[in-house]
A and B are shown apart, each in its own frame.
Chain A
Amino acid sequence: MTNEVQTKQSTRQTFLGALDAGSLVKAQLAGRSLVSENCNAAQFSFICNAIVKAAPKMLSLKPLKVALLSSFSIEFIHDSLVALGFLEGLHVEIYQAGFGQFRQEILNPRSGLYAFKPDVVIMAVEGKDWMPTLYRDYLDIIDGELDRDLVEFRKDILNLVRIFREQLGSTLLIHNFFPPVWRQLGILDGHVNQGQAELLNEANRLLCGLCRETQGVFVLDYAGLVSRFGAKQWYDDRMIYYARLPISQPMLPQLAREYMKFFRGLAGKSKKCLVVDLDNTLWGGVVGEDGLDGIKLGPDYPGNAYVAFQEAILNLHKRGVILAIASKNNPADVDEVFSKHPHMVLKKKHFAQEQIHWRPKSESVKEIAARLNIGLEHVLFVDDSPVECHQVARALPMVTIIRLPEQPERFICALLEEGLFDGLSFSQEDRNRAELYRQVEQAEQLRGRSASLEDFYRELEMEVSFHPVQANSVSRAAQLSQKTNQFNVTTIRYSDSEIAARAKDHDWLVTTIRVKDRFGDNGIVALTLARFCSDELDIDTLLMSCRVFGRTVETAMLAYLCDRARRRGALRIRGKIIPTSKNGPSQDLYETHGFQRVSVGSNGESVWLLDLSIGAIAYPKWLRIVAENPQVDKESPVTL
């Protein structure tokens, strides 16, 4: 047996052993190494079979029901999807309609699709199955109704999405279309009016527009995915005709990985923070040994590859990823590179935290996460050293790790391939996030200086404003519900469309909370959903971003709810705590605000009541409160 085979066998044994012992984190760690390189289809089947047997023991897995609607035999993706989902802590359950049944499944309200009650529905239809004339008989229509297929497609897809939405609030992913591999006019396709590629781009543009307009419906960029790998590698012509399976076996897990990007976003598992090493990561060489002039960074190879990698990281920062440094170095050497090197793209101001010392990197990562107040499972650690990666993996198995390949030109692909930072929305808050984290750091310093806590609150000069959720804040509200783990009393996740539906309901109070302080505008950082039931206001969701922890914003939120409840004539407020491993900071919310506990369930779930005639909560006096739109009692419906 070769070494490689032996390693594989022993990793498999570790994987099975961990599953048997019910140790999810260890099984995921071994599983990740099994799928990392040259993982063939059989190995995905092995992993999937083992997971299916062990799943009942893995109670902390989060169930995710996925329905696949396709024009081809997509069932071959099953094993890799289940395996990759498991590595993200998801128990993926799959419903597959017969191939070519996608229209019937959506149109028939009694179809298997609707009975399955999926969380996510994926419409994987190849362009030639939807617009056959455009792909197959293009030359026959070239003098006539070139856009007939497009008009039909538009009508068809609009209708399907509308009917789907009437039946289900689930997230819907729709594959866009890869244009015909062999253009019928060859090199002149781009020269004639409306070539095949141009018409397909038009179809994809239509689809983008439709998805933008419909909440919870997303384009899955299949054309982009096929292009990244190349059509000749992606498609298996033999299997198209033999088994109606167009996608070649080694490419199916790549499609599963593309789906995982969405699943991660839906499950609130997208990464938030990138922790990078410096030497041989942001630049070539070791600054402590090679010196400022000796490190490789600049216009020539390999320095230009490092410059490009820094640019890729800067782009992550611009879209809201928090950056941090974990480096074993002399801080003065590092400062010199940042302040003096002419080709540094990244500046100190782009990093929210720095850990530059000689202690273990696991300590650095832990410290960074603690200071940023984010969970370790939302951290991605990137380093070129196998030893450092191993040390962090051992000490902090919940941290995701990318070990950079040998050649710097492959760094960008390694960093971006899995789309670990991809979320389902992109808001103003994302764009400003890095700035916000610097403000938090400044506020923390102020806390250190203030004599008493109350002085600290006053010096922050906070303004807390309450707004009923609006069309332009729905996606931020949904994002908060999907991402917030710590200050979240019930941890109920909502999609855009679910938030919008409740906002329209007369009995629901859906409120976003914006917090400003002397350091800047934090944007929308908290959310409540509450529902009037007879003479009570029942708090369904109360959550707050960690950015404004410990500033009495939660007291203001309860005060606001008391106020709304009294205006509507409610007598009591009811709250519920559903404990999770992460929401410790919010578990005593009701107790500390004078609610009475009325019951505790076997799972630790507790219900609390506040009698408004005795214990209505007042706004903290150091906050300036803005309750805009006080007519939100919805005499007039909110327009969304």
Chain B
Amino acid sequence: MEERIKQIMADVLDLDPDSIDESTEMDVIESWDSLNHIQLCLSLEQEFQISLGVSEIESMFSYSNILEVLQKRI
């Protein structure tokens, strides 16, 4: 699952998947703006066949948080 999350993040945010780790968060990644954030969350929904609530979307501002939310859901 971690690999798949990293791949989606890499695709949407135009990053190298290997560069993504616990330190990857919205505040430090320039391409991670509010538009791409929605794009990212919707892409993760599509990849994992889930539907996220708005409160979840608003808590997924870093790789660690994304992992945490998705682990609960899958």
Contact = CB atoms under 8 A, between A and B. Distances in A.
Interface of A: 40-43, 45-46, 49, 75-76, 79, 238-239, 242-243, 245, 249-250
Contact of B14 (A43, A49, A238): A49
Contact of B43 (A45, A75, A238): A45
Given A46-B11, A49-B14, A75-B35, A41 B42 contact: yes
Nearest to B36: A45
Contacts of A239: 38, 42
A250 B51 CA distance: 13
A49 B39 CA distance: 14
Given A42-B11, A45-B11, A242 B54 contact: yes
Given A41-B46, A42-B8, A49-B11, 14 more contacts: A40-B47, A41-B12, A41-B42, A42-B7, A42-B40, A42-B47, A45-B14, A45-B39, A46-B11, A76-B39, A238-B54, A239-B42, A245-B38, A249-B45
A356 B14 CA distance: 49
A41 B38 contact: no
8 contacts: A42-B8, A42-B11, A42-B40, A45-B14, A45-B43, A49-B11, A245-B38, A249-B42
A320 B42 CA distance: 41
Interface string B7-51: 110111010000000000000000000010011101101110000
B35 A249 contact: no
Among all A-B residue pairs, the 6 with the closest Cβ atoms: A42-B11, A249-B42, A42-B43, A46-B11, A40-B46, A49-B14
A contact face: mostly helix, strand, loop, or mixed: helix
Interface residues on B, range: 10 to 19
Contact of A249 (B14, B46, B54): B46
Contacts of B35: 75-76
Q: Is the interface of B mostly helix, strand, loop or mixed?
A: helix
A92 B31 CA distance: 21
Nearest to A1: B3
B67 interface: no
B57 interface: yes
A242 B39 CA distance: 13
B24 to A, nearest CB: 16
Contacts of A46: 10-11
A250 B42 CA distance: 9
A49 B46 CA distance: 19
B26 to A, nearest CB: 16
Given A76-B38, A238-B54, A249 B11 contact: no
A43 B57 CA distance: 20
A381 to B, nearest CB: 31
Nearest to B13: A45
Nearest to B9: A42
B12 A45 contact: yes
Contacts of B38: 76, 239, 242-243, 245
A70 to B, nearest CB: 14
A249 B43 contact: yes
B59 to A, nearest CB: 14
A234 to B, nearest CB: 14
Contacts of B46: 40-42, 249-250
A41 B40 CA distance: 9
Contacts of A40: 43, 46-47
A42 B12 contact: yes
A79 B42 CA distance: 14
A76 B42 CA distance: 11
B61 to A, nearest CB: 15
Contacts of A42: 7-8, 11-12, 40, 43, 46-47
B1 to A, nearest CB: 13
Contacts of B45: 249
Contacts of B39: 41, 45, 76, 79
A41 B39 CA distance: 8
Nearest to A49: B14
Nearest to A43: B11
A46 B16 CA distance: 11
Contacts of B54: 238, 242
B25 to A, nearest CB: 19
Contacts of A79: 39
A41 B14 contact: no
A5 to B, nearest CB: 9
A41 B7 CA distance: 12
Contacts of B47: 40, 42
Query: Which of B8, B10, B11 has the most A CB atoms < 10 Å from its CB?
Result: B11
Contacts of B10: 46
A384 B46 CA distance: 30
